[in-house]
C-alpha cells in the first residue's frame, strides 16, 4: 500500500536526504505544514519564525500593516514548519520503522529549534495520515521518552497531529543536498537509538547473567546492578549491549542484581541499571540509568584517573604529555604487544608499527583495525589532524605526514594508553 506521512525535524534539506535513502521510500519532498495560512513560501516561513520579535513586526510593515494593527493582524497566525512528505510502500518499509527513524534523527526535546536553527519553523512535528500511524507515533514517543529520560534529556515537545495540508517548497529546495553536496546538513540527533529488545543475541547475553553472590574486590572496580530479570529491563539491556558487552578495560567491571551483592558500602539501589564506581568496597560515585559509551567513559575517566590528573587532561581536555615523560620511557622499548585504550581496553596501536621519531612521544605508522578516527584540529592557530579513540572518544594525539618512507606518523600520548604483551593480546 502506498502511504504518506509528514515529518518536521529542523532544516528540511537534511530530513529529505535521510528519508530518500531508506529502502521502500518512493519519494521525499521538502515543504511546509502545520500552519494556518495559505500558500506559504520560504521567505514567509522564515520571517514568521519569531512572531513577537522586532524583526517580525518590521517585516509586516513592509506588507503595509500600520503599527496599531500589527498585533491584531498576527495574533492568530500559526507558522508552518519546514517539513518533508515521505511517500512509501508499506509492504517494503513499515510505518514504525520510518517513525522510529524520525525520533532518532533529531532532538525532539528542543522547543522551536534544532541546534543553532532557532524559530518555530524548525519545531519538531509529525503529521499522520491514518490511525495506525497515529497509534505508532504516540507509542514510540512514549518509548523514546523513556530512553531520553534515562540518558538525561528532558520532555519531548513534538507536535503529533493529523495532516491538514502539505505545501511543497520551491524547486530550489527540492533535492537540495543532491544539488549541493557540501551544503548545510547539521546532525541534530541525540545519539539515542531504539534497541531491539527481542534480538536473539541481546537476550542470549542477558540470560547469562550470574546469580552468584558478589563481594567487594580490593582496589577500584565498577559494579552494574541490573533488574532481577534483566530481560524485563529495557535500559539494562541497552547498557549491556552498548557498553558492558564491549568493555575490555583493566578496571574490573561486574554485573549483579540487588539480591546478589553483599558487603558493599553503597547507596540503596532504587533504579536499574545503577552503575557504581567503587574503591575497596566503598562507593565513590554512581549513575542511575543507562549511559551512552561516551558518557560512561568520561565518568570512568574521572574515577580511574582523577579530574586533576595529567591522564584526564589529555583524554578529555586535549592536553599533551610532556616530551619524554615517564610513561613514554616505559613504553618506548617494550616487547611485542599492543597499546590499548586505557579506559575501554580496545586495541589501538601495535608494536610492529612503532618507531622512534626522536620527538619524545610514542610514534606509529598506523593504528590497529580502524579503532581510531580523525578530526580536524585548529586549536592554537594550527591546522592539525586530531586522533581519537572510537570506543571511548578520548583524545589520543595527532597524525602527521612525516613518518618513515613516506608513511604517516601517529604522535600519541602515552598516558592514555596501557600496554598488553603479545601473549595477552
Question: Which is catalytic among the residues 11, 233, 236, 411?
Answer: 11
Q: At what angle do helices 131-150 and 234-242 cross, to 10 degrees?
A: 70
User: What are 130-135's contacts with CB under 8 Å, separation 24+?
Assistant: 130/3, 132/95, 133/3, 133/5, 133/95, 133/99, 134/160, 134/162
Number of residues that make up the chain = 425
Do 223 and 256 form a contact (C-beta atoms < 8 A)? yes
Residue 133 · residue 39 · CB < 8 Å? no
- Rounded CA-CA distance 128/137 in Å is 8
Positions of E strands within 330-416: 337-341, 347-350, 354-355, 362-364, 372-377, 384-389, 395-400, 409-412
- Look at the alpha carbons of 226, 232, 233, 237 in this order and tell me if their dihedral is positive or negative: positive
What is the three-class DSSP state of 410?
A: strand
**Grid cell of 250 as nine digits:** 583493566
Find out whether 109 and 28 touch, Cβ atoms under 8 Å.
no
Upper half-sphere CA count for residue 154 (Cβ side, 13 Å): 7
Active-site residue flag, 11: yes
CA–CA–CA angle 257, 261, 264 (5° rounding): 135
Hey, which residues are catalytic here? 11
Amino acid at each position: 500500500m502506498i502511504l504518506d506521512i509528514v515529518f518536521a525535524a529542523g532544516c528540511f534539506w537534511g530530513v529529505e536526504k535521510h528519508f530518500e535513502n531508506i529502502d521502500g521510500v518512493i519519494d521525499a519532498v521538502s515543504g511546509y505544514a502545520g500552519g494556518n495560512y495559505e500558500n506559504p513560501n520560504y521567505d514567509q516561513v522564515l520571517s514568521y519564525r519569531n512572531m513577537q520579535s522586532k524583526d517580525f513586526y518590521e517585516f509586516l510593515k513592509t506588507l503595509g500593516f500600520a503599527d496599531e494593527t500589527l498585533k491584531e493582524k498576527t495574533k492568530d497566525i500559526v507558522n508552518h514548519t519546514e517539513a518533508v512528505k515521505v511517500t512509501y510502500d508499506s509492504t517494503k518499509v513499515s510505518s514504525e520503522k520510518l517513525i522510529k527513524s524520525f525520533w532518532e534523527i533529531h532532538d525532539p526535546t528542543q522547543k522551536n529549534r534544532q541546534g543553532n536553527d532557532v524559530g518555530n519553523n524548525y519545531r519538531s512535528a509529525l503529521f499522520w495520515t491514518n490511525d495506525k500511524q497515529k497509534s505508532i507515533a504516540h507509542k514510540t514517543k512514549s518509548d523514546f521518552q523513556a530512553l531520553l529520560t534515562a540518558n538525561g534529556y528532558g520532555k519531548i515537545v513534538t507536535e503529533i497531529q493529523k495532516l491538514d495540508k502539505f505545501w511543497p517548497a520551491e524547486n530550489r529546495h527540492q533535492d537540495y543536498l543532491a544539488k549541493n553536496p557540501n551544503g548545510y546538513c547539521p546532525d541534530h540527533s541525540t545519539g539515542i537509538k531504539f534497541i531491539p529488545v527481542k534480538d536473539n543475541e541481546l537476550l542470549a547475553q542477558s540470560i547469562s547473567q550470574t546469580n552468584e553472590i558478589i563481594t567487594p574486590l580490593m582496589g577500584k572496580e565498577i559494579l552494574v546492578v541490573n533488574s532481577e530479570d534483566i530481560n524485563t529491563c529495557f535500559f539494562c539491556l541497552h547498557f549491556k549491549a552498548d557498553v558492558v558487552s564491549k568493555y575490555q578495560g583493566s578496571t574490573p567491571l561486574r554485573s549483579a542484581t540487588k539480591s546478589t551483592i553483599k558487603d558493599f558500602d553503597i547507596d540503596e539501589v532504587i533504579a536499574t541499571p545503577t552503575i557504581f564506581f567503587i574503591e575497596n568496597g566503598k562507593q565513590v560515585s554512581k549513575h542511575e540509568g543507562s549511559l551512552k559509551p561516551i558518557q560512561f567513559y568520561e565518568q570512568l575517566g574521572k574515577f580511574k584517573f582523577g579530574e586533576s590528573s595529567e591522564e584526564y587532561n589529555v583524554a578529555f581536555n586535549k592536553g599533551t604529555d610532556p616530551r619524554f615523560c615517564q610513561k613514554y620511557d616505559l613504553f618506548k622499548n617494550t616487547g611485542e604487544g599492543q597499546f590499548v585504550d586505557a579506559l575501554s581496553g580496545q586495541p589501538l596501536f601495535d608494536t610492529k608499527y612503532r618507531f622512534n621519531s626522536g620527538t619524545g612521544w610514542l610514534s606509529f605508522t598506523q593504528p590497529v583495525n580502524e579503532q581510531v578516527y580523525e578530526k580536524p584540529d585548529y586549536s592554537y592557530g594550527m591546522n592539525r589532524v586530531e586522533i581519537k579513540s572510537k570506543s571511548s572518544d578520548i583524545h589520543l594525539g595527532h597524525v602527521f605526514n612525516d613518518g618513515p618512507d613516506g608513511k604517516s606518523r601517529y604522535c600519541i600520548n602515552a598516558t592514555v594508553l596501557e600496554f598488553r604483551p603479545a601473549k595477552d593480546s
